[in-house]
């Protein structure tokens, strides 16, 4: 099947915005290439999975990021796979998920999924401590770094489990902070872990420090506007 003019325009626009050329190596993550099926078209490839040019173009973006990380020998790579909304709805398509698993996770020093995201990546339901630990082990074994499965989706506790690159299992236990203002908690945690690693902290210490920081930011009780507000990132100051 040949790319339509509209699809060609979408691809060209994506390449322009990202300043990146999606060649066959990256497109292969999201589509099946058929060099012989172009039938004189000016485009180089045709695809059977045209949804790539819609939501699944994220798969090629993931591949481009992974290539840049590898090319620049990036260190202290923390992957927070923002894949599943609080409502349970998926935020990215299957192609992007497969690209994330195949290209980005192997480069991560630590991956930090919540329970629904861990379920998608591990391939089984994650609903309790046993399945959390099993998922963290699965993700750590699949990559080259650590895996932190966050338990914030549980209603009674906020216990997380870390499996290090060496295979050690570490539970980080804490009660939930009673607040409605928790917007950006996962992003804050992953950023704080990256900061700790950049400062030279060992993985477990970096994760513990980040968790303590996030708990403090939640407990500070910042209350801005309506709805679920942000954490108080300046609570220590």
For residue range 147-197, what is the model confidence (pLDDT) as tens digits?
999 998 777 789 999 999 999 999 999 999 988 888 889 999 999 999 999
Instruction: Name residues of the chain where pLDDT drops below 70.
Output: 1-4, 6-56, 85-89
**Listed residue (188, 166, 162) closest to 177, CA to CA:** 188
**What residue has token string 């950023």?**
191
User: What pLDDT was estimated at residue 94?
Assistant: 80
Q: How far apart are the first and last CA of the chain?
A: 58
pLDDT at position 212, please? 97
Q: Is the pTM of this model over 0.85?
A: no
Cα 62 from chain centre: 10
Looking at residue 38, its pLDDT comes to 33
Q: In whole angstroms, what is the distance from residue 15 CA to residue 26 CA?
A: 12
DSSP assignment letter at 54? T
Partner residues linked to 166 by β-bridges:
none
Q: 195-198: which pairs have CB atoms within 8 A and are 24 or more residues apart?
A: 197/75, 197/76, 197/78, 197/109, 197/110, 198/76
């Amino acid at each position: 099947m040949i790319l339509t003019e509209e699809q060609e325009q979408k691809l060209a626009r994506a390449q322009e915005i990202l300043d990146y050329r999606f060649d066959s190596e990256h497109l292969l993550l999201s589509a099946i290439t058929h060099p012989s099926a172009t039938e004189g078209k000016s485009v180089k490839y045709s695809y059977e999975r045209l949804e790539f040019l819609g939501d699944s173009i994220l798969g090629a973006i993931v591949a481009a990021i992974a290539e840049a990380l590898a090319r620049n020998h990036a260190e202290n790579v923390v992957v927070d796979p923002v894949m599943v909304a609080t409502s349970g709805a998926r935020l990215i398509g299957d192609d992007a998920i497969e690209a994330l698993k195949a290209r980005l996770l192997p480069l991560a020093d630590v991956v930090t999924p919540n329970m629904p995201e861990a379920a998608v990546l591990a391939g089984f339901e994650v609903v309790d401590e046993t399945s959390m630990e099993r998922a963290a082990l699965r993700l750590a074994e699949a990559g080259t770094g650590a895996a932190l499965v966050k338990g914030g989706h549980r209603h009674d506790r906020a216990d997380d489990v870390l499996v290090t690159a060496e295979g050690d299992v570490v539970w980080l236990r804490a009660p939930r902070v009673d607040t409605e203002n928790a917007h950006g908690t996962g992003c804050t945690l992953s950023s704080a872990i990256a900061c700790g690693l950049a400062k030279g902290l060992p993985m477990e210490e970096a994760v513990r420090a980040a968790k303590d920081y996030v708990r403090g930011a939640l407990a500070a009780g910042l209350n801005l506007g309506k709805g679920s507000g942000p954490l108080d990132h300046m609570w220590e100051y």
